[in-house]
Chain A
Amino acid sequence: MAKTEFNTKKKIKVEHHESDLRGTLASVFLLGFFIIVTWVSVWMLFLDRF
């Protein structure tokens, strides 16, 4: 029983290791960066005007 559980865990670990999502990580960082830049731009406009 214990041996079976050990094997299952090992299999999951290997699958996660194989999935390569570097591009996704970079993409979500770029997306976050874009949101921050647009937000800060309008924030500066607000500070300038009010």
Chain B
Amino acid sequence: MMNSNKLEKVDSRDAKLSMAYFYVAFIALALGGLAGLLQTLVRSGKVVLPWGIDYYQVLTVHGVLLGLVLTTFFIMGFQFALISRTTGTFTNGARITGWVGFWLMTIGTAMAATMVLLKEASVLYTFYAPLMAHPIFYIGLTLVIVGSWVAGGSMIATYAKWKRNNPGKASSLLTFMAIINTFMWIIATLGVAATVLIQILPWSLGLVDTIDILVSRTLFWYFGHPMVYFWLLPAYMCWYAIVPKIIGGKIFSDSLARLSFILFLLFSIPVGFHHQLVEPGIDPAWKYIQVVLTFMVIIPSLMTAFSLFATFESFGRSKGAKGLFGWFRKLPWGDARFVVPFIGMLSFIPAGAGGIINASHQMNAVIHNTIWVTGHFHLTAATAVVLTFFGISYWLIPHLTGRVLTKAMNKLAIIQGIVWTIGMSFMSGAMHAAGLLGAPRRSSFSEYGGAAQAQEWIPYQIAQAVGGSILFIGIILVLIIFINLAFFAPKGETEFPVGEVADGAEKPPLVFENWKLWLGISAALILFAYTIPFIDIIQNAPPGSKGYKFW
């Protein structure tokens, strides 16, 4: 925290770098959002896409642009700004590295997007083998990952330099959190890089004929689950360390926040099997062990919930709130920077509860591959995370561009949050309900030969289209606000809020920044959870599969 009070503003050169990432993120939001609208309309059974546009192509555009591009670019831009603000301006070398990362990621995105638009890569955002896309799609995704490593390396180097120059001091909380998230991302992406470079790329280039599907899916989900935490942790950074400042309160506990982030680093990665619970070929005992490790993630999630309630209550009581829940009314309900992320926090309650159901082995059988899962991650990623990202944009974009959020834009931002809540309640609610009735995910509209069960799903699919249309209005509102804040809002100074710890709070123990310890435990847990089952998967592998293109 010691540096945060001195450095009030992000250096303009660092601001340009962050803004470059945000421009790509918001373009992805516009295109990916449009694709999402089209999907819900097709699935209602009332709309057929013109010009031979395929549902699965649109689904791939939606998943890749929103799940992979929007999130990764936004997070990189956000973390560059956070570190610049709370640790210090980047050196020229680190900033240039950040730009190299940006261009690698952008070129990779353009390559992958071109192949999807040319209908050469309708493999959905999970790109499961044996669906086989054009090699350029995989090379593009590889560049996105490599670019994110380069950008992440720039952040870690900046942090390491600060540590060398400030021995024995704790880093700022926000920088610490950004570094944990970057380490987690790098460790996780090793898995997806391995499957793409060793298995998928040679196979799509025709160098080998077949692919081991279970190995590729295991490596994908070794990456896939920490990826969702890579999305979530920047939202938690805002909730723990920025929202307290916005409301005028204090961070409840710096040490508790750091501990919860360390627990996320340890328990987000060795848990990929909970996405593969119905998959044959993995020993159930190892599925059970990874489910136990998955449930460990509930601990830092509940610590977060406690900490946020405590921050809000402490603030409300300091303003004279009475009664059990009187503090709730004292929160700044007219400030979009608070209200929009707050809706995100609330949505994480049903989202987290749904996640515990998904990870429970037997109950996974009830919802596996149904649209319940889609409903689940539209509450986590597409509400809790994305609304928090929008809330961050409402102060960060004007801070970086030297503008201000006007009262009219603040009001529009709150309306946007409400529109999103209504749209998502319809869409995600209907997805959860239809999923419990067995409606499949990743499927275009079908009456399944007039099956009675499929008829039950149709009203819910219409509700999804209603929700999807309302959400698209929400996306238009966000884009209006983003363009306003980037180019047209009045010039002025906007605060970059950085939370302060409560008076007289203990300093965080330095053991939290003993990276050899935490990265060592993380590696040990990963090796424990994966080594034996992975050897087993390879030794008992069935014959490989050739590639398929169903589009």
Residues of A within 8 A of B (CB): 15, 19-24, 26-28, 31-32, 34-35, 38-39, 42-43, 45-46, 49-50
Residues of B within 8 A of A (CB): 302, 305-306, 309-310, 313-314, 316-317, 324-328, 349-350, 352-354, 356-357, 360, 362-363, 365-367, 436, 504
Tell me which residues across on chain A come within 8 A of B305, comparing CB atoms: 27-28, 31
Tell me which residues across on chain B come within 8 A of A15, comparing CB atoms: 504
Q: A43 → chain B, closest Cβ, in Å?
A: 6
Instruction: Tell me the nearest residue of chain B to A45, going by C-beta.
Output: B366
When the two chains form their complex, are residues A23 and B363 in contact, meaning their CB atoms are under 8 A apart?
Answer: no
When the two chains form their complex, are residues A42 and B313 in contact, meaning their CB atoms are under 8 A apart?
Answer: no
When the two chains form their complex, are residues A39 and B353 in contact, meaning their CB atoms are under 8 A apart?
Answer: yes
A28 to B188, CA, bound (A): 31
Instruction: Tell me the nearest residue of chain B to A41, going by C-beta.
Output: B357
When the two chains form their complex, are residues B309 and A23 in contact, meaning their CB atoms are under 8 A apart?
Answer: yes
Name the one of B313, B349, B354, B436 contacting A24, with C-beta atoms under 8 angstroms.
B313
A-B contact number at CB 8 A: 67
A2 to B452, CA, bound (A): 80
When the two chains form their complex, are residues A42 and B349 in contact, meaning their CB atoms are under 8 A apart?
Answer: no
Assess A50 versus B309: contact at CB under 8 Å? Given A23-B324, A38-B353. no
A35 to B325, CA, bound (A): 20
Q: B454 → chain A, closest Cβ, in Å?
A: 18
Q: A25 → chain B, closest Cβ, in Å?
A: 9
When the two chains form their complex, are residues B327 and A23 in contact, meaning their CB atoms are under 8 A apart?
Answer: yes
Give 19 A-B contacts (CB < 8 Å), ordered by A residue: A20-B313, A21-B309, A23-B309, A23-B316, A23-B324, A23-B326, A24-B309, A35-B353, A38-B350, A38-B354, A38-B357, A39-B353, A39-B360, A42-B363, A42-B367, A43-B362, A43-B363, A50-B362, A50-B365
Tell me which residues across on chain A come within 8 A of B310, comparing CB atoms: 21, 24
Tell me which residues across on chain A come within 8 A of B362, comparing CB atoms: 43, 46, 50
Instruction: Tell me the nearest residue of chain A to B307, going by C-beta.
Output: A24
When the two chains form their complex, are residues A39 and B325 in contact, meaning their CB atoms are under 8 A apart?
Answer: no
Tell me which residues across on chain B come within 8 A of A35, comparing CB atoms: 352-353, 356
Central interface residue in A15, A32, A42, A43, by most chain B CB within 10 Å: A42
Tell me which residues across on chain A come within 8 A of B360, comparing CB atoms: 39, 43
A28 to B357, CA, bound (A): 19
Tell me which residues across on chain A come within 8 A of B327, comparing CB atoms: 23
A26 to B324, CA, bound (A): 8
Q: A24 → chain B, closest Cβ, in Å?
A: 4
Assess A21 versus B313: contact at CB under 8 Å? Given A26-B325, A39-B357. yes
Q: A16 → chain B, closest Cβ, in Å?
A: 11
Tell me which residues across on chain A come within 8 A of B367, comparing CB atoms: 42
When the two chains form their complex, are residues B357 and A20 in contact, meaning their CB atoms are under 8 A apart?
Answer: no
Instruction: Tell me the nearest residue of chain A to B506, going by C-beta.
Output: A12
Tell me which residues across on chain A come within 8 A of B328, comparing CB atoms: 23
When the two chains form their complex, are residues B356 and A39 in contact, meaning their CB atoms are under 8 A apart?
Answer: yes
Name the one of A22, A34, A45, A49 contacting B349, with C-beta atoms under 8 angstroms.
A34
**Which 3 A-B pairs give the minimum distances between C-beta atoms?**
A24-B309, A38-B353, A27-B309
Name the one of A19, A26, A50 contacting B314, with C-beta atoms under 8 angstroms.
A19
Q: B541 → chain A, closest Cβ, in Å?
A: 29
Instruction: Tell me the nearest residue of chain B to A36, going by C-beta.
Output: B353
A22 to B327, CA, bound (A): 11
A21 to B352, CA, bound (A): 23
Q: B331 → chain A, closest Cβ, in Å?
A: 12
Tell me which residues across on chain B come within 8 A of A28, comparing CB atoms: 302, 305-306, 309
Instruction: Tell me the nearest residue of chain B to A23, going by C-beta.
Output: B313
When the two chains form their complex, are residues A20 and B306 in contact, meaning their CB atoms are under 8 A apart?
Answer: no
Tell me which residues across on chain B come within 8 A of A24, comparing CB atoms: 306, 309-310, 313
